[in-house]
Amino acid sequence: MPMRGDLPRLLIEAGLALLDEEGAEGLTLRRVAARAGVSHAAPAHHFNGLPGLRTAIATEGFCSFLHELVSARDALPPDADPFQGLLAVNQAYIRFSWRRPALFRLMFDQLPTENDDLRLAARAVYAILQDHWTPFVGNRPPAAFETAIWALTHGFAALNMDRPYPPDTPVNLSSYEDALRLLVG
Amino acid sequence: MPMRGDLPRLLIEAGLALLDEEGAEGLTLRRVAARAGVSHAAPAHHFNGLPGLRTAIATEGFCSFLHELVSARDALPPDADPFQGLLAVNQAYIRFSWRRPALFRLMFDQLPTENDDLRLAARAVYAILQDHWTPFVGNRPPAAFETAIWALTHGFAALNMDRPYPPDTPVNLSSYEDALRLLVG
DNA sequence: CCGATTGGCTTTACACTGTCAAGTTGAGCG
DNA sequence: CGCTCAACTTGACAGTGTAAAGCCAATCGG
């Protein structure tokens, strides 16, 4: 019926909306179908059941994620120093996890699948992160430095996604900034 | 019927087993009930529906988690230096996430609930982590140092829980050890 | 000792879910 | 026209959480 915009894309966008509006439990084949105005079995037909829809949504999520990281980088003034770039991109990472927690969780819970598109999208995100920390490697072992800085960012995002852990701890990006500064020294 | 061991505990243990054996999708009120040999509505009666069972299981998970961290600490030789202690406890953290990924995810997805028992259990875990990194704070800002070291560990655990991220990256605890050493320098 | 009450559990029912098989529709093509 | 094939729809089924009602043994006030 809707010739404008093929159905698969419509379904993915419906899924993203449901995820953002209602959380993980809102993402349902039948709800996605209803939102896209098609029959309840249409989503399973295009993707491969619910798991297929979820990986498709996760893949699209990584594209949005990448776009936000790139935007954060491009929004910097041209004379910004490398640390400002590193901080901006990694703060965008964390902010994404706050703004779209259900999608963020789906993306990283979904990672181990063997879907090539998903792996590619995730790799692209990793590449832009890499670009920004390489200037700081210095004479440290690169693998350890990569691990440290990227686990720091992801861990901070994951632990503060809904509420601070441990409870009663205030959450703010400035504490992340200080931690990052500790690492890059 | 089973006078040995009250039903709530039986249900929690059934849930933990299902989680370990079948993953997150295996944790179902009805499956838990069947495994404990009671009617399908019994679990919802004792806990408060599925969410209540989940937080109860997460709480129990934090107790096991704490126990493993304490064991790792106590297994150290008495002449171990502080860094060995820090490393041992944090590696136990990561190993737990590998051995029981579904439970680990449930625990940290469940955190934002307002259940007091859960908060208490999570806090106890945090306390033992804290014990081991305080010797290394030195003259650094303590909040930033806490954030850094704890986000590093949790992020490493979360990202390598099922498979390495980014794909094609080898996972090993030694790369974590190097990263940790970078931080405590 | 006895009737009432209560808490632990069962039974029943219902709406909602994913998945599968079969049917429908419509466009492209010989 | 008739054939095919893909994109859906329809219908059915097992499994899910939840709520209401029932059952039943233990407990307790008298």
Domains of chain A (ranges; CATH) run 1-46 (1.10.10), 58-184 (1.10.357.10)
CA distances from A69 to A55, A66, B159, B164 (A): 21, 5, 19, 21
Q: Which two tokens stand for residue A105?
A: 């969780």
Which of A105, A148, A181 lies closest to B179 in CB terms? A148
Query: Whole-number Å distance, CA B20 to C1' C7?
Result: 32
Asked if residue B2 has a cis previous peptide bond (ω within 30° of 0), the answer is no
Q: Of residues 43 to 82 in chain A, which lie within 7 A of strand D by their beta carbon? A: 45-46
Sign of CA dihedral B152, B154, B155, B161: positive
Interface test with A, best of B133, B137, B165 (most A CBs within 10 A): B165
pLDDT digits (tens, 9 = 90+) for B74-123: 999 999 999 999 999 999 999 999 999 999 999 999 887 889 999 999 99
* Confidence tier at A1 by pLDDT (50, 70, 90): very low
Q: What is the mean pLDDT of residues A147-157?
A: 96
Query: Whole-number Å distance, CA B45 to C1' C3?
Result: 28
- Biggest CA–CA distance in chain A, Å, is 60
**Full DSSP string of B39-107:** -TTHHHHHTTHHHHHHHHHHHHHHHHHHHHHHHHHHTS-TT--HHHHHHHHHHHHHHHHHHSHHHHHHH
Contact by Cβ (8 Å): B135, A87:
no
Tally of CB atoms within 10 A around A118: 23
Statement: the CB of B51 is under 7 Å from strand D: yes
pLDDT of residue B172: 79
Yes or no, beta carbons of B147 and A176 under 8 Å apart: yes
Helix (H) or strand (E) holding B123: helix B116-133
pLDDT of residue A111: 81
pLDDT digits (tens, 9 = 90+) for B125-136: 999 999 999 999
B residues 103-162 lying closer than 8 A (beta carbon) to A:
105, 108-109, 111-112, 119, 122-123, 126, 140-141, 143-145, 147-148, 150-156, 158-159, 162
Give strand ranges (E) for B87-166. Answer: none
Yes or no, beta carbons of A148 and B143 under 8 Å apart: no
Which nucleotides of strand C are protein-proximal, with an atom < 7 A from a CB? 8-13, 16-21
pLDDT of residue A40: 98
- Stronger pLDDT, B113 or B42, i.e. the higher one: B42
